[in-house]
Copies of this chain bind each other. A is one copy, B any other.
Amino acid sequence: MDFELPPRAKELRDRVEAFFNAEILPRHREWHAHVMRREPVPFMAELRRKARAAGLWNLALPDLAASEPGTRCSNLEFAPLAEIMGRLPWGSEPFNCHAPDVPNMVLLQNVCTPEQKQRWLVPLLEGTARSAFAMTEPAVASSDATNIATRIERRGTRYVVNGRKWYITGAAHPECKFLIVLGRQEADGARTRQHSMVVVPMDAPGVQLVRPLRFIGWEDHVAPVGELALTEVEVPLENIIGREGDGFSASQTRLGPARIHHCMRLIGAAEVVMSLMHVRATERRTFGRTVIEYDSVQQAIASSRVEIEQARLLVLRAAWAIDRAGFRGGWRDLSLAKIAVPATVQRIADRALQIFGAMGGSDDTPIHHALAYARLMRIGDGPDEVHMRQIFRTEAAPGWSIAESPYICGLGN
């Protein structure tokens, strides 16, 4: 047992930290000004080139092939990098490590034919295209993914897609080139065998971006969220990803990376919030005392520290477990982190908001972002309730009854 990062992880962390501090953080105000005016961010392309040139590209893909561009990292090596990137809403983008493109890349790595990879995966790896994964629907509880109702029908040489999708992250990005659509193909058979996935180009006839969406007022400027109407959308048969009927289970393979990366980033967002509340409390006075002198404020900070440290350890252990046993073997550790981290960050952001006063809720601070991101992640990629249900099921019964339990005394005496 060893709680120290391995040397390569430290070395990468130092390089990402240096790049973040030199190239990204100093441009945050500029970035913010652009996105608040809904303008494209003019320096982003150049920044991404710089990161790639520095060998800090596609760091979130443990199965990156030698032929694919980027630096392969294990989950454990990526964890501290993602945490640094998570300090800003857009901190992952320069490194091509942002959602939902990374989970989509993992999915495409897993299920695509070489031809499909060339067509759909390579542009993502190169950073020349954006993508979205179209699963969630307004009409059903998507937390139970077997509820997904969008129809995918095979008609001759085409699949025809009809349905409504929403909260599709990245779909409202102007450079989003394609959707991976999860839909129901068969109404019969096992609930987990009825779904398929097809790639739908954004410019296919019948694809309509109904509107952009936000979540408790927060807009994702890196991968803008959209509502989509899919009406008689036709794609060729070669656009199926994986096999017919495999869609539900195959789609799960992108959820693991999505979940753990979100958890990693959220820790970084929480650390920034911690720093900010610390400084804020140091700068303000009320009723004759600096705010930081109030022990309730000190306890808010200390409690947040206790909670962050616990949450981070869960994330690191999940990363370690996944590196050893894959997402299939490490899913329980990951679910534990997925339950703990967003709730923790939500609490911390809420405390920071109170210490800040109104400014904490303004667009000027990243607190709203941390709060909304954390809150969303208690719902997205499996809501708390679903993960708790899974964790509950892993609890082993001890093999005795209460009456026979060696821990119970006094009964029947």
By a CB distance below 8 angstroms, the chain B residues around A138 are 359, 411
CB distance from A286 to the nearest CB of B (A): 4
Q: Name the residue of chain B whose CB is nearest to the CB of A286.
A: B144
Instruction: Name the B residues within 8 Å of A19 (CB-CB).
Output: none
State whether A411 touches B1 (Cβ < 8 A).
Answer: no
State the CA gap A372–B303 with chains docked (Å): 22
A316 within 8 A of B: yes
Tell me the bound Cα distance from A298 to B76 in angstroms.
30
Contacts A285-B141, A295-B294, A362-B215 given: A406-B336 contact, CB under 8 Å? no
Which of A316, A358, A395 has the largest number of chain B CB atoms within 10 A? Answer: A358
Chain B residues with CB below 8 A from A384, complex form: 354
Interface residues of A in 346-399 (CB under 8 A from B): 350, 353-354, 357-366, 368, 371-372, 375-376, 378-380, 383-389, 391-392, 394-395, 397-398
Q: A278-B397, A279-B398, A371-B216 known; A336 and B357 CB under 8 Å?
A: no
Interface 9-mer from A109-117, A122-130, A307-315: A307-315
Shortest A216–chain B CB gap in Å is: 4
- Give A301 to B6 CA distance when docked, in angstroms: 34
Using CB atoms, name the residue of chain B closest to A218: B217
Interface residues of A in 110-165 (CB under 8 A from B): 136, 138, 140-144, 147
- Name A295's contact: one of B214, B285, B383, B389 (CB within 8 Å): B389
Q: Which residues of A, 151-187, contact B by the 8 Å Cβ criterion?
A: 166-167
New A-B contacts (18) at CB < 8 Å, excluding given A147-B286, A216-B217: A1-B6, A25-B406, A28-B409, A32-B409, A211-B410, A216-B216, A216-B361, A216-B368, A216-B372, A287-B389, A295-B385, A298-B392, A303-B388, A305-B395, A306-B314, A354-B379, A357-B379, A364-B411
10 shortest interchain CB distances as A-B pairs: A217-B217, A364-B410, A302-B388, A310-B310, A144-B286, A313-B313, A32-B409, A215-B361, A298-B392, A141-B284
